[in-house]
């Protein structure tokens, strides 16, 4: 669990994979693709505050994980010379 917290800033209270079975999380993940491509307003013109907050949170966490991955890759390349 500490790896999840280190990479995302969130500490899950249960198995982190369990969230993927939640219908709300599934909706956020489905809408995220539209958000990322700038089409959220077309697909879901009036998302609830809860959904919009979920998308914003997922975006922040995803960016954090991508950045951490890039840092790890750079460290590995530097270590290998």
In this prediction, residues 49-73 reach a mean pLDDT of 95
Task: Report pTM.
Answer: 0.81
Structure tokens at 80: 């290998």
Q: Does position 1 have pLDDT exceeding 70, yes or no?
A: no
Percent above pLDDT 90 for the chain: 73
CA distance 23 to 3: 25
Which of 69, 68, 66 minimizes the C-alpha distance to 58?
66
CA distance 59 to 78: 29
- What value does the CA radius of gyration of the chain take, rounded to a whole number of Å? 15
Residue ranges covered by each domain of the chain: 2-80
């Amino acid at each position: 669990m500490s790896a999840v917290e280190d990479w995302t800033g969130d500490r899950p209270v249960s198995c982190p994979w369990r969230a993927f079975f939640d219908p709300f999380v599934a909706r956020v993940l489905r809408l995220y693709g539209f958000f990322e491509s700038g089409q959220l307003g077309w697909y879901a013109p009036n998302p609830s505050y809860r959904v919009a907050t979920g998308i914003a949170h997922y975006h922040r966490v995803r960016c954090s994980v991508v950045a951490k991955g890039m840092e790890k890759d750079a460290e590995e390349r530097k270590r290998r010379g």
